[in-house]
């Protein structure tokens, strides 16, 4: 267990993944990783391409089922074997690919899998559009293209739709996989503002990125992964960016960090 739990007051972590492993065709993509996240906290998950961070997070969001290990939400063990299970636990994910159905409009995407129905059991598109206008108004006040399929939208607008879908359903845990990869500077700033706002609302956020500056700006703590293993965990205030680069590239754990099973030396 991470000794850092003491550093954060209050009860059990919002989410805890303990000793999680998954293998694809004999290759251990994630190997005995334990990470945690507290309410109102932003935790960065860092590592090279192929370090296993996206795979780890897909286990939490229900896209993959872990071979081994345990997931706890608010201290209670949960079984997450599908995206539906994850959503039921209040875990929402914004995927790097955005995972939008390109051929339907913004409201249909926001409510996909959780449609609002009328008293007759038919789709209540008007009510969904009304709520979509509300939530999009908060994220992207200039957005007007509610009637068009999302493939007609710009990268930033598509991102707003993906974020709206994640935050509209009272998420307690938000997973953001490379949320700013496809965005310009203004839109990146906007996402940063949103992260701070959500944090204040007590939502816990996993931020997956290989942009170390982004992570230092927004995260409270970081977990670093290399070759499927956890190199170490640190508070952002206790380590320098160079030290974190050392963790990512060499797997070397600095004094300010708590080493994991993947640490060298």
What are phi and psi for residue 242, nearest 5 degrees?
A: -65, -40
Q: How far is the CB of 237 from other proteins (least distance, A)?
A: 35
Contact status, residue 168 vs residue 135, Cβ threshold 8 Å? yes
Q: How far is the CB of 129 from other proteins (least distance, A)?
A: 7
Binding pattern for the stretch 42-61 against other proteins, x by CB under 8 A and - elsewhere:
-------------------x
| Residue at token pair 């965005």 | 183
| Residue at token pair 């931020």 | 207
Contact status, residue 74 vs residue 12, Cβ threshold 8 Å? yes
CB closer to other proteins, 124 vs 238: 124
Q: Does 183 bind other proteins (CB under 8 A)?
A: no
Binding pattern for the stretch 89-128 against other proteins, x by CB under 8 A and - elsewhere:
----x-x-xxxxxxxx---x---xxxx-x---xxx--xx-
Stretch of 3-11, 22-30, 145-153, 172-180 contacting other proteins, by CB under 8 A: 145-153
Q: How far is the CB of 126 from other proteins (least distance, A)?
A: 5
Q: CA quadruple 115, 146, 151, 98: dihedral positive or negative?
A: negative
Q: How far is the CB of 99 from other proteins (least distance, A)?
A: 4
| Rounded-to-5 percentages of helix, strand, coil across the chain | 35, 25, 40
CB closer to other proteins, 7 vs 130: 130
Strand residues in the chain grouped as ranges (E): 15-24, 27-37, 42-46, 68-73, 76-78, 91-94, 173-177, 204-208, 221-226, 229-235, 257-259
Residues that bind other proteins (CB under 8 A): 61, 63, 82-84, 87, 93, 95, 97-104, 108, 112-115, 117, 121-123, 126-127, 129-130, 133, 144-145, 147, 149
């Amino acid at each position: 267990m991470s000794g850092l739990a003491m550093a954060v007051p209050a009860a059990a972590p919002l989410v805890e993944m303990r000793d999680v492993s998954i293998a694809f065709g004999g290759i251990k993509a994630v190997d005995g990783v334990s990470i945690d996240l507290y309410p109102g906290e932003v935790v960065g998950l860092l590592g090279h391409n192929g370090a296993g961070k996206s795979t780890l997070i897909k286990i939490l969001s229900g896209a993959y089922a872990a071979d081994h290990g345990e997931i706890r939400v608010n201290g209670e063990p949960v079984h997450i074997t599908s995206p539906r299970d994850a959503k039921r636990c209040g875990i929402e994910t914004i995927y790097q690919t955005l995972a939008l159905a390109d051929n339907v409009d913004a409201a249909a995407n926001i409510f996909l899998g959780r449609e609002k129905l009328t008293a007759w059991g038919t789709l209540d598109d008007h009510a969904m559009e009304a709520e979509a206008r509300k939530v999009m108004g908060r994220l992207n006040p200039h957005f007007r293209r509610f009637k068009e399929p999302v493939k007609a939208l710009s990268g930033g607008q598509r991102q707003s739709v993906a974020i709206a879908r994640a935050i509209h359903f009272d998420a307690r845990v938000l997973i953001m996989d490379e949320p700013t990869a496809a965005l310009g500077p203004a839109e990146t700033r906007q996402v940063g503002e949103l992260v701070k706002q959500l944090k204040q609302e007590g939502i816990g956020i996993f931020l997956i990125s290989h942009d170390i500056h982004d992570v230092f700006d927004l995260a409270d703590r970081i977990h670093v992964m290399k070759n499927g293993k956890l190199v170490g965990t640190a508070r952002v205030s206790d380590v320098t960016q160079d030290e974190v680069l050392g963790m990512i590239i060499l797997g070397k754990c600095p004094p300010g960090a708590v080493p994991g099973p993947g640490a060298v030396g």
